[in-house]
Chains A and B, each alone.
Chain A
Amino acid sequence: AQSVTQPDIHITVSEGASLELRCNYSYGATPYLFWYVQSPGQGLQLLLKYFSGDTLVQGIKGFEAEFKRSQSSFNLRKPSVHWSDAAEYFCAVGARQAGTALIFGKGTTLSVSS
């Protein structure tokens, strides 16, 4: 079955500290991989995506993610968290063929302490 697992429901990080949000997927083929961020009451903003090529992907707001095929993982990282990064983060996978919907993880809530 196709699925996305985000093991951490809630993470609290001190401002300035590094961050890693975990994402594991189960998919029949090599998927497209995405990370989205959602602020309360808002829609989704794409942070970064992986389609092919370099497995270390750079995104907006200083985020990066690394695709590890052997571990079926696509973890999101940021070296220094800012208070404005507090939000809900969703990992998603999608098929390579067009016209198919994304499968989302349950999300990780990030809180940033001062």
Chain B
Amino acid sequence: GAVVSQHPSRVICKSGTSVKIECRSLDFQATTMFWYRQFPKQSLMLMATSNEGSKATYEQGVEKDKFLINHASLTLSTLTVTSAHPEDSSFYICSARFSGGAGNEQFFGPGTRLTVL
């Protein structure tokens, strides 16, 4: 149980295009999902907190117009990187909080490797 999937696992796109990444909780409902970004050999940095049915909360320095987050259902959140540029190349990981779980346990997706040419 408590599986989180991400799609796609790897994407390569041209500069200027938009890319959508999906994060799904497969066997539980998640009122809150989180989007992290990880640069090579570095830790995970929180980008935004996504709550079902409401606007995402972005961390300081993260452009909300560039990284569009939609959390339309209790099992799906999407991150759209708009007008992607090479500096957006990174490993994007989502996590989902199990609504009925103890405390603040979160389950992580396998990540999406974005490469912008």
Contacts and interface: CB of A to CB of B under 8 A. Distances in A.
B31 interface: yes
B104 A98 contact: yes
Contacts, number: 64
Contact of B31 (A32, A36, A99): A99
Nearest to A90: B43
From DSSP, what is the main secondary structure of chain B's interface residues? strand
Nearest to A91: B43
B75 interface: no
A101 B96 CA distance: 10
Interface string B75-99: 0000000000000000101010100
Given A44-B93, A98-B97, A101-B34, A107 B43 contact: yes
From DSSP, what is the main secondary structure of chain A's interface residues? loop
A95 B104 contact: yes
Interface in B46-94: 46, 49, 51, 91, 93
Interface in A36-76: 36, 41-46, 49, 51
Q: Which 8 A-B pairs have the closest CB atoms?
A: A43-B110, A44-B108, A43-B111, A94-B104, A106-B43, A99-B32, A104-B43, A101-B46
Interface of B: 6, 31-32, 34, 36, 42-46, 49, 51, 91, 93, 95, 97, 102-111, 113
